């Protein structure tokens, strides 16, 4: 595995050099990416479509136990976890407060995960500023405190949003991260919203759009990828998908007038679009959460709005999904809907095997897997090109 890891990393480096103009090459970038994907095993390709918690690599524990028990696997990589990663080669890792102990511990942990992965992994975190900042709100890390995005939005000064992205991107880069699940692109329309609130830049969709663009540019200036969330908009809700089912009753035309504007205007700026778990009663007829809806992801987001970048689910551990669907089936429905990356499946091994078996049985084609992996590899090249 280590030898293959070295070869694949070398391929990434060579590709990055070619893409940045460092040497000649007659074939298109897309053709080179396709060849890289062809050289990967089916298991390696499937693994690229998951971002998991590091502790999901603890094969000695059930999924339920992993979620309720804190162990040393939360803060360091061990040999058992490396064995699991060799069998289930995840494409990335998301860090939470339980994974943070000290600057030295965190940097070693992210470095070790990078070294052990078969391809360059996404090392990700929710670092929005304000109340959602895993590192910024942790007492062991001396980093600048970023105010809530609502405060920045109220100023009307996009340079403050750029500075927030740049500052956050700077310390994320120092600790080995390459992906931030930020900025929030939700328009804070409903004053009774219990989920978004001051995480949003405000209630004016065009202001939110401009602030999102500046924040993303700030992240990019430090070599950090960004994520617009939560498509198609969580700003006009009063319930929380973290705990259970949430529906909205707006029409597509109504969303186009407000909630969708920050997304559409930043499709060319963002690196990922995160799909939330709300159910769109008057837009889709499948009665599925947005993160599982072919009608929303493929027909609306991809075909109508022409977004061809990476689509990632919101956390699949959340109650709106985990309370209603087995982990493996939830994963399959999301991939069938058009998702590229499944974020935090409740049971990673069950979900991985569900995709593997679905490809072998013909439920999902390997070509469908390849489409997502090509998008993912193309995005990972940006990490080397460092914008």
Write out the catalytic residue numbers.
242, 314
Diameter over CA atoms, the chain: 56
Q: Tokens for 211, please give them.
A: 């602030």
The answer for residues whose C-beta is within 8 angstroms of residue 345's C-beta and 6 or more apart is 50, 52, 316, 317, 327, 330, 331, 351
Q: Tokens for 86, please give them.
A: 């060799």
Number of residues that this document lists for the chain? 387
Cα(37)–Cα(29) distance, integer angstroms? 13
Cβ-count burial 31-42 (b if 16+ within 10 Å, e if not): ebbbebbeebee
Please measure the distance between the N-terminal and C-terminal CA atoms of the chain and give it in whole angstroms. Answer: 29
Place of tokens 């900025």: 183
Cα(128)–Cα(175) distance, integer angstroms? 16
Q: Got the DSSP string for 114-170?
A: HHHSSSPPEEEE-EEETTEETTTT-TT---PPPPPHHHHHHHT-HHHHHHHHHHHHH
Q: Tokens for 31, please give them.
A: 């053709």
Q: Tokens for 34, please give them.
A: 């396709």
Cα(134)–Cα(103) distance, integer angstroms? 13
Contact 157, 120 (CB under 8 A): no
């Amino acid at each position: 595995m280590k030898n293959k890891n070295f070869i694949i990393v070398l391929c990434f480096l060579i590709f990055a050099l070619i893409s940045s103009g460092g040497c000649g090459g007659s074939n298109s970038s897309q053709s080179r990416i396709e060849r890289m994907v062809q050289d990967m095993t089916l298991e390696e390709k499937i693994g690229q479509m998951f971002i998991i918690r590091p502790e999901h690599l603890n094969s000695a524990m059930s999924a339920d136990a992993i979620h309720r028990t804190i162990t040393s696997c939360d803060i360091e990589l061990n040999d058992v976890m490396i064995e699991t990663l060799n069998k289930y080669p995840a494409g990335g890792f998301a860090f939470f407060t339980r994974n943070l102990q000290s600057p030295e511990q965190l940097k070693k942990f992210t470095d070790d995960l990078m070294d052990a992965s078969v391809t360059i992994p996404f090392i990700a975190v929710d670092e929005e500023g304000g109340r959602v900042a895993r590192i910024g709100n942790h007492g062991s890390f001396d980093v600048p405190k970023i105010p809530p995005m609502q405060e920045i939005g109220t100023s009307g000064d996009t340079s403050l949003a750029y500075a927030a992205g740049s500052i956050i991107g700077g310390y994320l880069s120092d600790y080995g991260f390459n992906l931030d699940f930020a900025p929030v692109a939700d328009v804070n329309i409903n004053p009774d919203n219990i989920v978004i609130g001051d995480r949003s830049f405000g209630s004016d969709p065009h202001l939110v759009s401009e602030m999102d663009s500046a924040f993303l540019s700030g992240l990019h200036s430090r070599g950090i990828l960004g994520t617009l969330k939560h498509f198609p908009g969580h700003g006009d809700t009063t319930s929380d998908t973290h705990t259970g089912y949430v529906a909205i009753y707006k029409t597509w035309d109504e969303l186009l007038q407000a909630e969708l504007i920050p997304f559409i205007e930043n499709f060319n700026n963002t690196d990922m679009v995160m799909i939330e778990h709300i159910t769109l009663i008057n837009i889709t007829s499948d009665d599925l959460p947005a993160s599982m809806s072919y009608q929303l992801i493929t027909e609306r987001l991809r075909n109508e709005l022409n977004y061809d970048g990476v689509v990632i689910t919101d956390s699949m551990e959340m109650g709106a999904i985990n309370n209603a669907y087995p982990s493996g089936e939830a994963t399959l429905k999301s991939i069938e809907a058009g998702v590229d990356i499944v974020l935090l499946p409740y049971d990673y091994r069950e979900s991985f095997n569900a995709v593997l078996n679905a490809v072998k049985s013909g439920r999902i084609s390997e070509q469908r897997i390849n489409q997502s992996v090509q998008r993912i590899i193309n995005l990972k090249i940006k990490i080397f090109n460092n914008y």
